Structures are given as structure tokens and as C-alpha cells.
């Protein structure tokens, strides 16, 4: 479960990059002033998404992520309302895709291994150790340490992979970082 969710988080990071990159290019469909504003806001938005992946909930307290989203949306909607046509509708739809991929990513990051599964794994580990100890109680062999160590390592790896913000194994926003660099003027 943890590995599939880790892969899902990596795939959603890639989907976010594709949506953001596409919308950055579609900004050309807006009037010049609006296009420049959309690109500027998308740059801020990408920086916020990179901070999200790195675990910085609010890297810059002066800029609220919701404010940037609201401003992006009002900018594209304002341009679409001023000149309604199918081309601008495509650009507005692209902005909707940007926000949808962000929502998918957030949902994937909140999707963790259920507590019941953790409890079941712990019970299996405890009973396995008890059975091994009961079987080898008189021999005093080193084998009694192997199963607890292996179980501990397995629990550590599962917990590390399942924790999006903490730990050694996490999704690094390589795609978002390279997109941020490509978006700089």
C-alpha cells in the first residue's frame, strides 16, 4: 500500500507539471497584459507547489497559496468574460486542470495506510515473535533477535514511504523545479 501511494504521489507531481506547463504556454491566448499577469502568477504558484512537496506548508507567510489561486482564477475568468470565445475557453479550461491536479495531489498526500492495517501488521509481528520465542525458548539462539530486527526494519520502511513530508524516502519535486527554471523570464 505504501509503495503504490508513493508512486501515485510521484505521478501526480508529473501531472501537475504537465498541467502547469500547458497553461503557461496557453497564456499566449490571452491579451498581452493578462498573459503577463498569468505567467507571473503561475511562477509564484509553481514556487508554492515546490514548497508543498518539500514540506514547507507556508514558506512565505506574506503570500497565501489560496490568494494566488484566487487571483489566477479571477484573472483568467475576467479575460474570458471580456472576450468570450472558444480559444479563451481552452485557456480557462487549462487553468481548471491546474487546480484539479493540485487537488488530486493533496488527496494522494492525505491518503495513508489505515490505522487498522497498522494494527494488523503489529499483531502479526507480535505473534510471530511470540511463536518463535516459544519454539526456541530453551536454545537461547541468536535467531531470536533476527525476526524482531527484520520486523522493525520493515515497519520503519513502510512508515517512511507512507509519510510524504517526513523521512528519508520522499517525493522530490524534480519536475516542478525544472519547470520553475524554464518559466523564469
pLDDT in tens, 47-91: 999 998 888 755 444 556 678 999 999 999 999 899 889 999 999
Q: Is 115 helix (H, G, I), strand (E, B) or coil?
A: helix
d(Cα 70, Cα 99) in Å, to the nearest integer?
10
Q: What is the pLDDT of residue 17?
A: 96
Q: What is the pLDDT of residue 32?
A: 92
Least confident of 27-36, 63-72, 137-146: 137-146
Half-sphere exposure (Cβ direction) of 7: Cα atoms closer than 13 Å: 4
Burial 64-98 (b: 16+ CB within 10 A, else e): ebeebbebbbebbeebbeeeeeeebeebbebbebb
Q: Where are the domains of the chain?
A: 2-112+171-183, 115-162
Residue 117 near residue 87, CB atoms below 8 Å: no
Q: What is the pLDDT of residue 2?
A: 87
Secondary structure (DSSP) of 26-41 = HGGGS-HHHHHHHHHH
Q: What sign results for the dihedral spanned by CA atoms 16, 22, 24, 30?
A: negative
Q: What is the pLDDT of residue 61?
A: 46
The mean of the pLDDT values for the chain is 87
Mean pLDDT (whole number) for 135-145: 68
Which residue has better confidence, 141 or 148? 148
Q: Would you say residue 127 has pLDDT above 60?
A: yes
For the beta carbon of residue 63, count every other beta carbon within 10 angstroms: 13
pTM of the model as a whole: 0.81
Confidence bin at 147 (pLDDT 50/70/90) = confident
pLDDT in tens, 156-180: 999 898 888 777 888 889 999 999 9
Amino acid at each position: 500500500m505504501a509503495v503504490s501511494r508513493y508512486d501515485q504521489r510521484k505521478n501526480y507531481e508529473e501531472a501537475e507539471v504537465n498541467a502547469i506547463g500547458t497553461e503557461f504556454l496557453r497564456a499566449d491566448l490571452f491579451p498581452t497584459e493578462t498573459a503577463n499577469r498569468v505567467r507571473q502568477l503561475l511562477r509564484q504558484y509553481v514556487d508554492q507547489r515546490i514548497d508543498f512537496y518539500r514540506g514547507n506548508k507556508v514558506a512565505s507567510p506574506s503570500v497565501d497559496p489560496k490568494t494566488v489561486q484566487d487571483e489566477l482564477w479571477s484573472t483568467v475568468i475576467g479575460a474570458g468574460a471580456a472576450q468570450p470565445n472558444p480559444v479563451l475557453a481552452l485557456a480557462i479550461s487549462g487553468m481548471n486542470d491546474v487546480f484539479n491536479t493540485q487537488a488530486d495531489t493533496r488527496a494522494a498526500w492525505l491518503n495513508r495506510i489505515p490505522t487498522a492495517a497498522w494494527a494488523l501488521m503489529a499483531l502479526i509481528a507480535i505473534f510471530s515473535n511470540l511463536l518463535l520465542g516459544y519454539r526456541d525458548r530453551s536454545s537461547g539462539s541468536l535467531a531470536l533477535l533476527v525476526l524482531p530486527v527484520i520486523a522493525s526494519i520493515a515497519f520503519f520502511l513502510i512508515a517512511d514511504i507512507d509519510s510524504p513530508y517526513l523521512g528519508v524516502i520522499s517525493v522530490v519535486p524534480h519536475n516542478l523545479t525544472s519547470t520553475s527554471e524554464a518559466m523564469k523570464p
